A and B are shown apart, each in its own frame.
Chain A
């Protein structure tokens, strides 16, 4: 019986481990191996090239563009989403009539899959039948090719990404703002603090653990889940304007069948996420106020 008790936790973990090993560790190991080869599409020719795939990527201007776009995309969408959702969270904790209905409606984008979100936004921005496009034309008077012209494709993608990520952040912020002790706010009001000061000197620092968590979650979303939205809305276009690193992996692996290069790119993505997470936890955590 004693032996059973000691072994029991490990036995219970075996199914999970099996799944993780088969679906995550083995493919990851294969990806690392594949990044050292150049292979034909059907795998019948494999030439060992060492780190040549990585060298070629570092010299490839198309890859540099993808990296730069990824960075710009992440920074703008995460910053906008965090501030927008914090603001919405503040409004929705104000005990106004109808907040419950608003919360439900505003949560809807999270329930929709990224591919559907992309399809919805493509439809809304369609130059022929899109409602949002029509509103834009009525207000500003210029017809814009939302998904096929240079700055507007990025804006369209930004709208869709922010729209998709905001509800998730908002729910966390609502919960967190509600847990800010009200006597702190009362004391601040008595001391003559303005609303702005109260928000950014009391509430925002006190919800910083949530902000910390949400920023890293949002970065992960824009790095990886944005693939569906990009594929549906712009296909990485116009040209390669909205191709980020994950979309480039897809293109190289499944459209151009350059398996070695795609595997190298996914290895680079892995290390990027490792580095980002380490730096983030080391430096950003210092600015978090835990209660």
Chain B
């Protein structure tokens, strides 16, 4: 009897294993978010017992992308991959993905209108939505209200224009007898993303052909009037010693400078608003948030979304594809998006999640979470605020960051920096286009 039961159990287990679908989800969210995703996968598996989700954390966005490239080239692609927003053109050109639009069109139960428009505007190219938005962010300005008060500034009116910004930084900067900086006005991670945001805030493009949205870009146009204003503004701050630059894209160094109250203002992603608030409470200063500044006389633009989206990789069996679609829909469900937003600060990408958060009174208690959202929703929708689409974004970003660093070190003038940046970026774009 026992033997028969055991055999029957084995048969059922085998049947269960055979009919269960295994999908792989590769992401780049580290720290506490690793455990968060493990729990999300378990919640999903409870709802869908015939699907197993294997969650893998692969390091940074770049490491995750490189691993995906290697896996695709070796014939063992994952199912769902999180790729940063600037990889959009590269992923489309790669020919290895299933556009989400196709899956949406085949699923009558799914309403594509639930997504926030500025976010789908980014990931829609030629009228097709290629990837599912998941963790979107914009750049906001964090400032130390306590330090503002100490410097004699009004903590409730942060600088909104470049000109005011310079004045505020001047007031915040404290130097000792030798001219060494004890406390400075402003710090940021020397990341080209902020430059792109500042361009969009003035409704200016980064590349030609409608910011890459009318067709493949052939030229980098950062050396337009808006770009030059940004470079000159940074140069003024650097010359006066009102800012501290970090190494390229060094988010943690900039955060540390702000959190240790060595700098009064920080540009950072809204995805860290939760941890900034916790840190402010721990270290006894009051945190303020506001939109990025722009020159007083520039046209109004908006914010470009950053963060990443989820791509569904081609070449997997049909049942895995359907399971991936279910998983991705689950991640975008109202409750999941609300939890993700509260846990991090990344926007909820669906309207129902936003409504849920609003009506539950969340934003009354946590107004800083709302800052980035408002900055996004108050943006002027245009090709410039939809975000640039270009295949060599990583290289362009390094070029721009290099030129800014050389300019702030006093080696070249702002005009030369921005013209050289435009030239080198255009060369990189032309090289990329030669392959296609």
Which residues of A come within 8 Å of B, CB atoms? 38-45, 47, 127-128, 137, 141-143, 145, 147-150, 234-235, 237-240, 251, 254-258
Give 10 A-B contacts (CB < 8 Å), ordered by A residue.
A41-B94, A42-B72, A42-B93, A43-B73, A44-B96, A128-B260, A128-B262, A148-B246, A256-B394, A257-B394
Residues of B within 8 A of A147 (CB): 247
- Shortest beta-carbon distance, A35 to chain B, in Å? 15
Residues of A within 8 A of B435 (CB): 38-40, 45, 47
Q: Is B405 an interface residue (CB 8 A)?
A: yes
* A42 and B256 in contact, given A235-B247, A257-B90 (Cβ under 8 angstroms): no
* A255 and B436 in contact, given A43-B73, A147-B247 (Cβ under 8 angstroms): no
Chain A residue nearest to B96 in the complex (CB): A42
- Shortest beta-carbon distance, A235 to chain B, in Å? 6
Residues of A within 8 A of B434 (CB): 38
Q: Is the CB of A142 within 8 A of B394?
A: no
Q: Is the CB of B392 within 8 A of A238?
A: no
Docked Cα-Cα span, A156 to B108, in Å, equals 60
Q: Is the CB of B395 within 8 A of A237?
A: no
* A142 and B178 in contact, given A237-B247, A239-B406 (Cβ under 8 angstroms): yes
**How many residues of chain B are within 8 Å of chain A by beta carbon?**
36
Residues of A within 8 A of B251 (CB): none
Give the A-B contact count at a CB cut-off of 8 A.
83
Docked Cα-Cα span, A16 to B249, in Å, equals 42
Q: Is the CB of B62 within 8 A of A254?
A: yes
Which residues of B come within 8 Å of A, CB atoms? 62, 66, 69, 72-73, 90, 93-96, 178, 180-181, 244-249, 256-257, 260, 262, 392, 394-395, 398, 402, 405-406, 409, 428, 431, 434-436
- Shortest beta-carbon distance, B17 to chain A, in Å? 32
Residues of B within 8 A of A38 (CB): 434-435
Chain A residue nearest to B256 in the complex (CB): A128
With beta carbons under 8 angstroms apart, the residue of A142, A234, A251 that contacts B247 is A234
Chain A residue nearest to B178 in the complex (CB): A141
Residues of A within 8 A of B94 (CB): 40-42, 44
Docked Cα-Cα span, A41 to B435, in Å, equals 10
Q: Is the CB of B180 within 8 A of A142?
A: yes
- Shortest beta-carbon distance, A275 to chain B, in Å? 29
Docked Cα-Cα span, A96 to B95, in Å, equals 69
